[in-house]
Amino acid sequence: MRVPQVDATRAYRRMPDDAVRACVLDDMVLLYHGRSGQTHMVISPVPEILDAMADGAAVSAEALHDVLAARYELGERAAAVAEIAAHLDALDALGLVRQA
């Protein structure tokens, strides 16, 4: 399996709850970003990543892996950390998390 090149040590913070509203619909979560007026449809593992960031503390993909691995089977560490980092980068581009 090819592991994407990402910075797994870059820290991110979840946007405050009043900046992004969530609505769960079966296996999908709608995230409304008030500042942009956009609604994003996400599926697992994005809701799980955001839930693990709920305390608002700065967290890296490596640290998130440790939290998520205690709850879920994530497979091989390097590949899972790279996937989490890629999701964080994408969430940052959408304005749903921000670099710390």
* Cα–Cα nearest to 15, from 83, 82, 100, 87: 100
pTM, 2 dp: 0.88
Residue 4 has a pLDDT of: 52
Residue 11 near residue 53, CB atoms below 8 Å: no
At 60-83, the pLDDT tens digits run 999 999 999 999 999 999 999 999
Tokens coding 19: 């900046």
**Cis bond leading into 45, ω under 30°?**
yes
At 19-67, the pLDDT tens digits run 889 999 999 999 999 889 999 999 999 999 999 999 889 999 999 999 9
* Cα separation, 57 vs 96, whole angstroms: 14
